[in-house]
Each structure stands twice: as C-alpha cells, then as structure tokens.
Structure 1
Amino acid sequence: MSSKQIKHPGRRLLVLLVVIAIGYAALALGAATHRTSMTPGLALDLEGGTQIILTPTTTDGSTITDEDVQQAIEIIRQRVDASGVAEAQISRQGGQNIVVALPGQPSQETLELVRTSAVLYFRPVIRIIQGSATAIAQAQNQYLAKAAASASASPQASDAATQDATSAPASEPAQEPTPQATAVPTVTAEQVAQTYADVNQDGTISSDPLPATSDDHSSDEWITEQMIYDAYMTDCTAADNLTGVSQDPSKAVISCAKDGSGATYILGPADIAGTDISRASSGLETTSQGTTTNKWVVSLEFDKKGTDEFAAVSKRLLAYRDAAAASASTTTQTGSTDSQKARFAIVLDGLTLMASGFSSDVTTPITDGRVQISGSFTQAQANTLANQLSFGSLPLTFTVQSEQQISATLGIEQLRHGLIAGLVGFLLIIVYLAWQYRGLAVVAVTSLVAAAGVTYLAIALLSWAMGYRLSLAGVAGLIISIGITMDSFIIYFERIRDEVRHGRTLVAAVDEGWSHARQTIIVSDAVNLLAAVVLYFLAVGGVQGFAFTLGV
C-alpha cells in the first residue's frame, strides 16, 4: 500500500469554481441593484471626467512659494486617494495653478475635498442667533396681519400689539389684539436688528466693545453692538453665505451654520487651530458601556500643543456650564447666557459645523487630548470631515477658476485596440503551446481562461469596493501578466519533459516535475510581485495603474 497521501484535485477545482461563482453572483446582484456595474470603471484616458482648476491665494498677501504649491498638491492627492477615487491626475499649470482631473462622475463629497482648504479652528461661542432679522420681521408681520384681519379690540390694543412686535422675538409674539384694527402695521428687518443689537438701549448702534465680566475668548469685550447688528442682518440660508470665507483667527467673527439651518453665530478668537490635530478618524459611536450605536462620529487626537490648549478651554467651558446650571440664568432679548458661552464651535473654512457643549457625563477638564465629535453625521459626511482633518490644512486658500467636464484623452477605440492586441497575443500563445506540448496545451489554456476570469472578477469587485478604475496602462499590465502566467506553464512543462526523458511515466512526471518547478515558479512570481509593489508606491498616475494590474 502506498504511503503517499491520496490527493483529490477535483475537490480543489470544485472549491475554486464555487468561489468564482459566488463572486460573479455578488457582482451581478450589485449590478441589478444599481450599486455597481458588471464592467470595471474606466480611468480618465478611457472615459473622461471632471477637471477643476484652482488658483492659490494667501490670506496675508505674502508671496506664494513653490514649496507651498507642492505641499498643496500632495495634500489634495492624499485627500482624493483617501476618498476612494483612483486614477486621478493632479498637476501644476502655469507656475501656480493646480489642475485636478477626476475620472467619471465624482461625488459631491469628493469635489468638496478638492475645493476647500479645510482651515479648521475651534472657537468659543459668544452669541447664537436663530434666524436673521429678515426672517424675524417676516414672522412678526405675518402675525400682525393675521391679528389685524381678525381685529375686534380697541385701537389702543392694536397700537400695543405693534409696539410689542418690534421689541419681542418672533418666538414670543405680543399679546393678540382684539379684532378692531383697521391698519396693518409692519416691522422692517433693520428695526428688528436695531432692537436686538442696542444692548444698552441708548437708541444708537455703537462700535465700542461691550462691557465684559471676564477676559477670556468667550468675553463680550470681543464684540460690539455693530457686530450684533450685522449678525442679525446676515441671512445664513442664502447660498452666497454658505460658500466659506477666510477669517482672521485672532478676532471675533460672524459665522453661518454650514448645514444651511439659518443659525448665525458670533464667535470669539480661535482657541485651537486645526493644525494641532494629530489624528482624525470616523466610525460608529461607542458608549461608555462599550456598546456600539448606529450614530456616526469623528474622533480627534490633539498633539502636545493642542492637548494643553484643549485642557484649558474645556476647563473654561465647564465653568460656564456649571455657572449656568447653578444660577439657572436666563437672557434678555439682547443678552447672552452662560449656557451659550459654554459651547464650543468647530469652524471649517469660516462655516460652523456645530456648536455644542460637553455632555453631562464630562465633569472634569479633558487633559488627554482625545475628543469625540458627534452630530447628525451621515457616513459620507463623517468620512469627509475625518479625511479633511487627517491631512491637515492646506498652506494656501484656493479660488475655483473653472470646473468642467473633460472628454477621454484616448477613448474607447484605444481600449478596443488594446484588448485586440491582448487577444492576438493570447491566440499566439495557444498556437505555440499546441505546437510544443500537444495535449498539455489544453490544460494550460483552460488554466489561463480560469485565471483571466478570476482577474476580471477581482478588477470589477475592486472597482465596486474601492473605486478602482482601469486605464490603458492597466490593460497593458493585464496583457503582460498573460505572458508571465504562460512563462510559469512553460517552466512546468519543460520539467515534465525532463522527467519523461529520464524514464518516468507521465503521471509520475507530472508530480515530480511540479515539485522541481514549483520553487522556480514561486520565486519568479515573487520577483514580479515585488517589482509591481515597488513600482506602485514609487510612481503616480498611469504607472501606478500598470503596476496594480501587473500585481493582480
């Protein structure tokens, strides 16, 4: 009885076929649900895409250096790569302009990563204004019109309603008059802003700092009545106010909520800069009990400087929160409360992402530099914010000079020619194998077809899962891999020939030939894989696509 273990190659083939079938079934299911396609995505040279030209500027008017532009290019490339977009081209044009070409139809989140400089600051909240003076005036006028239409009270009651409407917020309308008013009073946005901004009620809007009880960045001494007036006159639902602006981090500013809710914030000078963040990542929230929720959050870790700054800031904000809770402080229509000043605004490119305080379970200052940002994030929004913060702020701010669709540089015709070249090479290999190895050519061709099917499946799945796009250079890598695969078969078949010449039977020669050829084949494939890996990490653009498919 032979001591050799009985082999079952049929089982291995069956497992391979099952795996391939499952892969193609998953791909077909994705195509049926319109989440992917049965064909891989194509790169810029074969499909075209979107081109954005960015013009750099500096906030202080300083000279733009070559190092600044090169650093900006690297950061933009990192952001695009992290968003899952492959085969993007980022280059320099005309000395300073940066050209970003993205294949296909990039998502809005990816375009936002390219357009924005991601200048992030953590600023203290001084005032929160829910709605512009225009919106408040409209709400008050609607109420007054409704009251006048159903008026039955005396003219004195109607006059009182008019006076109250100009001095009370829209959320607290004046007492409804009796329905006898004959004229409909109106309130202008300027009147509303004047009423709210005139803190000392002297009838004028001053540009002098407000009286302050503290000297920190949350203090009223940083703002004026004029700033409050301007904040109320700012419509934060208008598209022009949601594009982002460059702001001086050393001064108090007016900032709109980025989500377009209409909230306006008056913020103090920046306490912490985004450059003090050492790491940012997105994920599902994990509670203190260790359970995972379905809420997306962004986790931050500060460097040494940021950790020290955040410890001081958290101590100050917790003091405001505790003071508000102890005194149950309220506010007049023009004042701010400690509860508002206990909030911390995260400002990205001049727009407020959120302005929230610490949760109730935080009772002591945060000294380890680890912060978790929570909000109504979607997965895409959390990933976008984490990517922006992970790669730091750009050294420059950019103006989008142009954004347009571009056509393919080569086109489908070139892809067809490349595939024809690959098919011709494949047929020549079949002819050579049939001439040299007769029946063994059937085995080689069958194996090659199976390998081609697996490779195509891998490329299509990677295009779905990771955004990979096939370029003409990638097609060249696939064609060369055919030759490399055939090289392995030729080495194996020559070893079988040698064993047959030495008197072994064909069955014995197959086993013995493989044991001798295996090491050579593995070393050859390892060298090719190593070359592909090195080429992928050292090159950019189309060369990376060639290296990727060669490695696959």
Structure 2
Amino acid sequence: MIVIAMVALVGGMFLSGHTTPRLGIDLAGGTSFTLEAKNQPGKPNAINTANMNTAVGIIERRVNGLGVSEAEVQTQGDKHIIVNIPKGTNAKQARQQVGTTAQLYFRPVVTTTSGGKTKQPSSTPSPSASASKGKTDKGGQSGSEKPKASSPTPTSTTQGRAVPEALKADKAAPTPTPSKTPGSGETGKPSDTPSQPSKSDQEKLAKEFAALDCTKPTGRAAAAEKAANSKPTEPVLACSQKGDSKFVLGPSEVEGTDVDDASSVFESQNASGWIVQLDFNDKGAKKFAKTTGELTKQQSPQNRFAIVLDGEVVSDPEVTQGAITGGRATISGGFTQQSSADLANVLSFGALPLSFDIADETTVSAALGGEQLQAGLIAGAIGLALVVIYLVVYYRGLSLVAMASLAASAILTYTIMVLLGPGIGFALNLPAVCGAIVAIGITADSFIVYFERIRDEIREGRSLRPAVERGWPRARRTILVSDFVSFLAAAVLFIVTVGKVKGFAFTLGLTTLLDVVVVFLFTKPLMTLLARRPFFGNGHPWSGLDPKRLGAKPPLRRRRPAAPGPADTKEA
C-alpha cells in the first residue's frame, strides 16, 4: 500500500510540473514591502501601538494563508510595517493583498450606471431608471443575477442595497437634480446626517458622477483614492473593481469592524452553488438589521448596499424580503469558488483600523541563506552517515531494513513538501530544514525500538517469526507514545509562535506523522517478509539476529510424560 502511495505522490509531483520545494525568503530571496500608516480623516490619534499590532495580525493572516508560506510581517518604528514575501509568490497578487489595507464600509447605493462617462441630464431620471441599464456584478452577470444578501436559510434568499434617511429627502439625494426618491414616500424630510450635502454640493456631485470614467484605470484610481479619504458620514462616488459600473453611495451604515467572520461555502440547494456567509458582532447585527429593514422598502437600485474596500465596490448585493436579523446573513448569486473566497477574505480581514501606503518595495537577496543551507545540508549528511555507520556496526543485516525505511520516509517527505508548495503555499526555510534533519533521529529511534523488542524475544528462546509478531505490540505502543509527544510539541510550537519557527514546527509535525505511517505500513510488513528468509530466520551471524551473539536461552521444551509400566499380573 505504501509503495502505491509513494508512486502516486511521485507521479503527481511530476504531473504538477513542480519537482523542487518552494523555498522561503531566506533561501530563495523575495520581495520586501514597507507600509506607512496614514492619518485618517476624523481620527487624528489612530496611529498607536494597539492599532499597529492589530494591523500586523490581519496582514499576516492575509499573506500567510495557512501560516506556512513563511511571509514575515512585523512593525518597524511607530508607523511602519515590514512585509517580507518569499520568491515564487505571485508578486501582483501579493502587492494587492498587502496594499489593500483601507477601512471596510457597507454603504447604501443611491444610484448606479455603466462605468463610462455619461451625459448630465437636464432633468434627473429616477435612480432606479438610471440603474436599469448596463448593470453587471463583478462576475459579469446581468442585473437579474446580482448577488443577494439573505438570512442563512436554504429556501429564502433576499437581495439588497440601502439608502439612509439622509439621502431619502429631496435635498439630500445625491442625484443630478433634486427629485423624489422612489419608494421613500416622503419629500423634504430633514436629514439627521451631519454631512448632508447642500444643493450646490449635489450639483457638484452630479457633474463629477457624469464625468467619472471607471473604464480607465486612472479614473478608477482617482475615484478610489478620493472615496477612501472621505469621511464615513459623507456620500461618495465609487467604481466597481472591474470598472464596468459606477455608483453614488450614501454615508456608511455598517463598518467592516462590525463583521465577526465570513466564509465561502458551497450550497447544493442554491442554484448558484457558491455563497458567502457572514456573521456580525452584537453592535453590527443591530445596525445591519435596521439597514436591511430600510433597504427592503426601496426600489432598485436603492435596495442595495455596496461593500466598499479601499474606495472600490467589491460587491453590491440586494435586499428585497425584509430585515436580516440574528446577526447572520448570506450573499449569493453569480459567485464562482474563487470570487466567493475573495469576498469572504475581504469581509474577514479587510477591516483594518488603519490605512497604509506602500512606501518602499525592494528585492531581497538569498546569498546568506544559501550559504547557511549548504552548511546545514553538510551537517545533516554527516549526521546521517554516522547513523548509518552505527546501524551497520550494531544491527548488521537489520541495518538494511532501517535504511530502506529511512529512504521511504525521505521520499514521502520530499514529495509532500513539493506538492504543498503550490497547494497551500508551504515554503521551505532554514528552520524547516532543521526540522527535517531532527526527524531523521526520530525515525531511526522508532526502528531501534522495534528491533530491540524482536531481539528481546529471541533472547527468551523464541525463533524469529514468532519474535517478530510478539515484539510488535510492545514496540508499537512505545513508538506511538514517543511520536505523540513529539507531535504535541510541534503543534504547540506551531500555534504559539510566528514567522520562521512555524516552518520548523510544521516540518517536525509532518515528519512525525510520516514516521508512524512508515513504521506501520513499511517497516513491520518488511520484517514479516524477511523473517521467512533463511538468512534472517536461521539467525545468520551477519543478520543481526544471531541467537548465540544475543545470548539467547535454550529453547523451552516440555518433558514428555513417562510411559506407563506393565500392569502387575495377578496370580491365582
């Protein structure tokens, strides 16, 4: 079985096109980003130790994924964060992950249209009419397939975007000219929002909206920068990430810090399949329920809320069937596995307490790490040679079993490390190499425990075949206890440490698990087969199982009962 597994892993390695492990930044070099925290409007004292540490934790989870890609994130001074990403990572994607650090907001959609420039009409069309043409979601679906926000039930899906009270009134609506908002049922209602736009501000916003061209990267960048630097209480203009739609958005109703968690889930009962589930904290649940309750009363597009990150709209789901209460909601409609995972990542890790600029980007050399790796490999080779010499001198023929088992463990470890590179972003760094070298001793120790149990049975006067079977239960128990302690230490290290030490812990834990697999599925079956061979079964002096050399007791023999004597003849 284990031979089949090794063949499958080696075949998968060559089919994947990756035949060498992905190396960490200390061995292969990489890219280093320096992020500089920016002062935010209305938050003059936001740059502090607590917010910087929170930002480091969120950025680290973004770039590290499962925590084994060996990206390093640490603060430098009072307002800088250094991010080191190893070579082999998608540089463009890494820059987006690191640079996308602004606050996350849920803003109501007031009106939306296609991304290009539009004529400023002499009379204002209703927001719903202006939004009925050219609207697509980020996956390119038509308006009928827009993402939907709903309570987490498999049968009901509600869609939505919101308009706050500040923008329901004629005077406050950020549309090209004052008009009654469809579905509001009110005109001229005073706004409670401090940043209610005046008539001149509305006209200015209308001109900017008409002139905004989201189809051009420069237009998207300018709109995103302006929106990101605006106060949460102000209406803003924003583009979709693809630039195919542009929006007038009202003041923020819910902030990203109100999101507790988000995940991408495949739902078989949903026609679209992939959905995003999100949980709010207590404060966010109340605000989200109130907002969605107001949104469901509006007509499209004012029954939508835009999820805005770094001034760009990453999604704009609809609400049409009532308030979403309970602090849990799902967003569905037109998602692929990748797009749902991206949105979940934004919702989970997008709410940073600070925003950052990439102040510097440099390439890191691996010269020093390469020299240390060479020295480490030489030390590992010397250690392995000493282990082999000891096995040959002390165990003789059994050393072949040990070396074959070490080879099987090495093949499994190498192929799995190679496949984990593209799979989960695992990167081999110097501490990880150290963990692999330490594993040689752990694996050899398991073989020695088993061999000694077999020899103990032979010393008791048993032949090899029953000795192999009787020694296995006792050896198995000892091996499992030893490997459990080693794996527990690796797990604790992985959980409580950061950075490169995680690589050591991950490699140590992986090789410990493989040790159990090799001993159970390779070493034990191999010994069972060799016990039938005369070289080992008859205790050849070079087999390592010679009864005389081991001081075996004479085999125990049962005495035969004495034959009964002839019966006495009775005389008459």
TM-score, reference length from structure 2: 0.71
CA contact (8 A) 1:477 1:547 kept: yes
1:285 Cα deviation from its structure 2 partner = 5.1
1:263-342, aligned counterparts within 5 Å?
263-284=245-266, 286=268, 290-291=269-270, 293-294=272-273, 296-321=274-299, 339-342=300-303
Give secondary structure in 2 for the equivalent of 1:249.
coil
1:18-37, aligned counterparts within 5 Å?
18-31=4-17, 37=18
Give secondary structure in 2 for the equivalent of 1:126.
strand
Q: Is 1:451 equivalent to 2:409 in the alignment?
A: yes
Which consecutive residues of structure 2, in runs of 5 or more, have no partner in the other structure?
124-129, 134-173, 180-186, 511-572
The match for 1:192 is none
1:547 Cα deviation from its structure 2 partner = 1.4
Query: Aligned letter for 1:16?
Result: I
The match for 2:78 is 95
Q: 1:318 to 1:214 in 2, by over 3 A?
A: farther
Which consecutive residues of structure 1, in runs of 5 or more, have no partner in the other structure?
1-14, 32-36, 141-162, 173-195, 202-210, 322-338
Q: 1:61 to 1:444 in 2, by over 3 A?
A: same
Give secondary structure in 2 for the equivalent of 1:299.
strand
Give secondary structure in 1 for the equivalent of 2:44.
coil
The match for 1:489 is 447
Q: 1:85 to 1:255 in 2, by over 3 A?
A: farther
Q: Is 1:526 equivalent to 2:484 in the alignment?
A: yes
- Write the distance in 1 (CA, Å) between the matches of 2:291 and 2:77: 44
The match for 1:408 is 366
Q: Is 1:235 equivalent to 2:235 in the alignment?
A: no
Per-residue displacement from partner, 1:514-533 (whole Å, max 9, x unpaired)?
33333222222211111111
Give secondary structure in 2 for the equivalent of 1:470.
coil
- Write the distance in 2 (CA, Å) between the matches of 1:516 and 1:341: 72
CA contact (8 A) 1:314 1:365 kept: yes
The match for 1:68 is 51
Q: 1:533 to 1:85 in 2, by over 3 A?
A: closer
The match for 1:127 is 111
Give secondary structure in 2 for the equivalent of 1:306.
helix
1:264 Cα deviation from its structure 2 partner = 2.7
CA contact (8 A) 2:103 2:354 kept: no
The match for 1:155 is none
1:409 Cα deviation from its structure 2 partner = 5.4
- Write the distance in 2 (CA, Å) between the matches of 1:450 and 1:285: 41
Query: Aligned letter for 1:345?
Result: A
Q: 1:502 to 1:246 in 2, by over 3 A?
A: same
Give secondary structure in 2 for the equivalent of 1:491.
helix
Q: Is 1:257 equivalent to 2:236 in the alignment?
A: no
Among candidates 55, 58, 70, match of residue 36 of structure 2: 55
1:366-385, aligned counterparts within 5 Å?
366-374=324-332, 377-385=335-343
Give secondary structure in 1 for the equivalent of 2:361.
strand
CA contact (8 A) 1:276 1:305 kept: yes
1:369-518, aligned counterparts within 5 Å?
369-374=327-332, 377-391=335-349, 393-408=351-366, 410-518=368-476
CA contact (8 A) 1:120 1:347 kept: yes
1:542 Cα deviation from its structure 2 partner = 1.7
Give secondary structure in 1 for the equivalent of 2:251.
coil
The match for 1:160 is none
CA contact (8 A) 2:290 2:323 kept: yes
CA contact (8 A) 1:235 1:241 kept: yes
CA contact (8 A) 1:80 1:110 kept: yes
The match for 1:158 is none
Per-residue displacement from partner, 1:420-441 (whole Å, max 9, x unpaired)?
3322322221111111111111
State the Cα RMSD in Å: 3.2
Q: 1:533 to 1:292 in 2, by over 3 A?
A: farther
- Write the distance in 2 (CA, Å) between the matches of 1:214 and 1:463: 58
Per-residue displacement from partner, 1:344-368 (whole Å, max 9, x unpaired)?
222112212233433xxx4332223
Give secondary structure in 2 for the equivalent of 1:452.
helix
- Write the distance in 2 (CA, Å) between the matches of 1:101 and 1:260: 31
Moved more, 90-99 or 465-474: 90-99
- Identity percentage of aligned residues: 40
1:344-363, aligned counterparts within 5 Å?
344-358=305-319, 362-363=320-321
CA contact (8 A) 1:89 1:101 kept: yes
1:494 Cα deviation from its structure 2 partner = 2.7
Moved more, 527-536 or 215-224: 215-224
1:371 Cα deviation from its structure 2 partner = 2.8
